[in-house]
A and B are shown apart, each in its own frame.
Chain A
Amino acid sequence: MSSEIAAGPAGQPQSAVERLHVAGLHGPTGAVLSVRDLNVSFNTENGVVHAVRGVDFDLLPGKTLGIVGESGSGKSVTSLAIMGLLPATAEISGSVRLHGKELLGLSDKAMCAYRGNELSMVFQDPLSSLTPVYTVGTQIVEALAIHNHGMSKQAKEARAVELLAMVGIPSPKDRLKAFPHEFSGGMRQRVMIAIAIANNPRVLIADEPTTALDVTIQAQVLEVLHAAQEETGAAVVMITHDLGVVAGMADDIMVMYAGKPVETGAVEDIYYNPRMPYTMGLLGAVPRVDVAEKSSLVPIEGIPPNLIHTPAGCSFAPRCPLASEACLDGEPALAPVAGSTLHRAACIKSGSLGGDVDVHDVFSAPPVPVSSFDAIPREDRTTVLQLKDVRKHFPLTKGALLKRRIGTVKAVDGLSFDIREGECFSIVGESGSGKTTTLLEIMEFHKDQDGEVVIGGLSNKQAADARTKSAMRRELQMVFQDPTGALDPRFTVYEVLAEPLQNAGMDRQAIKKRIMELMKLVGLQPDHVNRFPNQFSGGQRQRIGIARALAVNPKLVVLDEPVSALDVSVQAGVINLLDKLRAELGLSYLLVAHDLSVVRHISNRVAVMYLGKIVEIGEVDRVFDNPRHPYTRALLSAIPVPDPRLERTRERIILRGDLPSPLDAPKGCNFATRCPVFAALPAAKQEKCLTLEPPLEPVVPSAAAQALAAGPLPALDQGFACFFPDGELDEDMLVVHDPADRHAP
């Protein structure tokens, strides 16, 4: 494709002029990859979808560009268009130049010379991205063989071993012969990175590389990406919806909305001085794990536009609180923000949105709700749920006809905690730590369970008859992770909400009245009750799920990852709603979440689980600000914070390896195998961790505090299970990125 075509359709002289201007500004200064006016559209049954509309950027060698946006904003399509991996039915126009060579319009075969060689990519889902029937070694060697015809077999194998070692896979030589299914998700993503950097690419595109992974594993993989970039000197395009993930890595950020970049600039400009209301909203919508002060999140109302119809004005105008008549008059172009040449925003009001404008005012975030229970001390409130030494062990058997027991999986191993009225209690931990099993055990409510579950004064030990059980179920309701899967697609909202009420024996008039109440309560229009779930957006569906749970006036609502399937801007609205309902209705929540920022924002107390046991428990601010257990410390340090300056200087504990299989759970402390404190201990002290199981004990105020208060102080609301809580951390597991060496070649 020639540069004339790259200059865009002849019908838009303005954009062509603008583009020439931009190209003149920083086009030829040695950019490895430069994208101009990239447009992608797909022909679908409903019409032409313009997935990407005019993306421009330049990527300098060794630099990282973060592309941020919600689902459907066109970020993945942009990356696939650059790689030439879109289906043949996609219509692509514009220009993509690698070292000045045009890539758009090249045939599949011609593109193969670049793909995997100078341009490479890491995909989102590591579980499905490797071919299951070939060994990892074969797949790495293949990447080498395609572009290095003269390389000998031994050389390729040696290089594959080197690559695996580089991405941190232990005993790489043996692991070459392993198949993908023998690796965990994090390990497979490392292999994907090894394949991507095999031929020292100039540009590495990472499309949501850590979205499918646990936080601790995410930290490991980001670290590997960082090391890979240093090793190869590649420029990186990091695509993500998580503003925290890119904060520490990126040099420049491009925020995309409805297929268009709406704000671009250096990372500091975007995070500290956003000029486009959408960017401001996104930043305000993310809860912070490092901030104790409670303020409501910024919800962005509405949903992203349908890209079949080209928006008449600014594509964000329908959701923008600042929108005025002028905003609907043509789509604003990306224009430099006053006082900066590289920071550009597509908003006609960017001039008036300086650094001192509070996003909470712009988006009119609701006030922090205050619950009437907040004033009552915790001990004086009634207990809504109590667990006493609950265990769930699964036997692991072998054999087809005659089953032999070869081990036990201790999914939940001696859990005790209680939840008081008006309180949000959260359980956090990596996948496999037993969070979901705990919820299932609570919902099971059977007298043969190992351990006691007391719900609203009813114990499972007395739960012999159906009446007790149904009384218990009325006390406790559940909201599920996937709002789409949790609602029957053939039920109208009315039917969904009426079902629990009919079960409770309400008459028709009362049901109708209650449903109208519920719809208003969760912020949905009451006249939408006759619609089906597929006519609602994800956030609205989750609101329906919440309304269903609240229908029978439960005391306790169990929330299983209630916002993890939602986009950031929608998530904020749901979190605010949950917060409001807790205060207004005096509800208690049991929340299971992997996102610690959400947990910190909404919870009062938190329990950290590791391999079926609580390793630390207590008041949320106390645990998060002063974590005592090394696992909590590692977990907290692994969470990226949407604050570039802080993120770059933060000390990070990178745990080694994955969650061990519960089968080979060690005899002493479960965590010893990955513990950064344990690794730094002298052998004599290590012995204690390996032989004794640390009990969960409350934190006693320090001797100094005792002396100050002139008497024994009561134990604090924090407990942990570790013998050496404040021990030195192993230095190998600590990572700090010195800002000085970041930009060194």
Chain B
Amino acid sequence: MLRYLAKRGITYVFMIFLTTSAGYFLAVSSLKPALLEQERIPRPTPEQVASSMRLKGLDPDLSPWERYVEWLTAIVTRWDWGRSPNGAFINAEFGDRVWISTRLFLASIILTLVIGVALGVYSAARQYKFQDRVITSYSYLAYIVPAPIAYFLVQLGAISVNETVGERIFFVTGISTPGTAPGWAQFVDMLAHYAVPTIAITLVGWGSYQIAQRQYLLDNVNADFVRTARAKGLTRNQAISRHALRVSFIPVAQSIAFTIPAIFAGGFFAEKIFAWPGVGSWSIDAISLQDVNAATATLAYGSVIFALGAILADFATTLVDPRVRVQ
């Protein structure tokens, strides 16, 4: 197992290095922070801009290769991912951003998985009955509706609740109200901020898991081994829940394992709409602000998350499927 992990790890480190380097070259040759500086009022002279950039390690006069070598050396020797054009240190900003994304997505992704899989099983057991049709239709709808629109709708709903009650129960944007007294009041404030984004992301998210779990289970409901289980003396429902479910969970487990690390990577739409400045919105902002180092850092982070997901997916498969062996 450890050998497998080491082998996989080396492969992924190599892949991450390649994608990140390619990303850096792309960013450094297309993003020009110096141009953005010149739109300031009062307008700085090109020399001023260049020197300010040079101070932050973003010298526009160096060739992309020279800047790449400099950037890479800093990471390898000092674990320093550089600075943004506004002078902020990537390393410092990064931790905050990841923590915000994680807080935003943790609860909702867990809810999404649990509800999605449970409803998938429920609807498969009642194939083509009323409940199945309602649930599955909803899932397809959630699949089709673009996430931002669904988020807005949930926000509108929360606002109307607030208006009906005549009191501000839910906060539709933001992380917390500044200046809330610590203790109980702070906890209530946190819940009020959490509720809307969590509900919105969960409502949109579970559909795909429900559809997948339902489909995989239905593929196995009439399998030969379920018939064998029934021939042993299990009722149809017992045979399905003891035999078909476990087999149908194998592909679902794989996709779940892929999703878990995504909690830490955040999502652009949700972060923007609910005004939680996490990793997702940072990566988009970095591009619009011509921030080479931040854009590359978020890309590298995405690659790491992906690699972790892939390794986790392998583990999940070995865990639930005895036919797969790790070598």
Contacts and interface: CB of A to CB of B under 8 A. Distances in A.
Contacts of B227: 85, 123, 129
A-B CB proximity, top 8 nearest: A116-B233, A116-B232, A128-B224, A146-B233, A131-B225, A143-B232, A129-B224, A115-B233
Given A123-B231, A128-B223, A196-B231, 5 more contacts: A85-B231, A108-B235, A109-B235, A131-B243, A147-B233
Interface stretch (B55-63, B278-286, B298-306, B319-327): B319-327
Interface in B206-256: 223-225, 227-236, 242-243, 246-247, 250
A397 B320 CA distance: 27
A160 to B, nearest CB: 13
A114 B250 CA distance: 32
25 contacts: A114-B233, A115-B230, A115-B231, A116-B233, A120-B231, A121-B231, A123-B227, A128-B223, A129-B227, A131-B225, A131-B228, A131-B247, A132-B247, A132-B323, A133-B320, A133-B321, A135-B322, A142-B232, A143-B232, A143-B233, A146-B232, A179-B322, A179-B323, A181-B323, A400-B11
A125 interface: yes
**Interface range on chain A (Cβ under 8 Å from partner):** 20 to 34
Contacts of A115: 230-233
B171 to A, nearest CB: 46
A692 interface: no
A113 B234 CA distance: 9
A117 interface: yes
B116 to A, nearest CB: 21
A710 interface: no
B7 interface: yes
Secondary structure of the B contact surface, majority rule: helix
B48 to A, nearest CB: 51
Interface in B284-326: 320-323
Contacts of A521: none
Given A131-B243, A132-B247, A133-B321, A113 B228 contact: no
B232 to A, nearest CB: 4
B7 A83 contact: no
Nearest to A198: B232
Contacts of A195: 228, 232
A192 interface: yes
Contact of A83 (B223, B231, B246, B322): B231
Contacts of A143: 232-233
Contacts of B231: 83, 85, 115-116, 120-121, 123, 196
A112 interface: yes
Contacts of A401: 7, 11
Contact of B234 (A112, A120, A129, A179): A112
Contacts of B322: 132-133, 135, 179, 181
Contacts of A112: 233-235
A192 B232 contact: no
A133 B236 contact: no
A279 to B, nearest CB: 30
B225 A132 contact: yes
Interface string B105-118: 00000000000000
A696 interface: no
A322 to B, nearest CB: 40
A166 interface: no
Contacts of A125: 224
A130 interface: yes
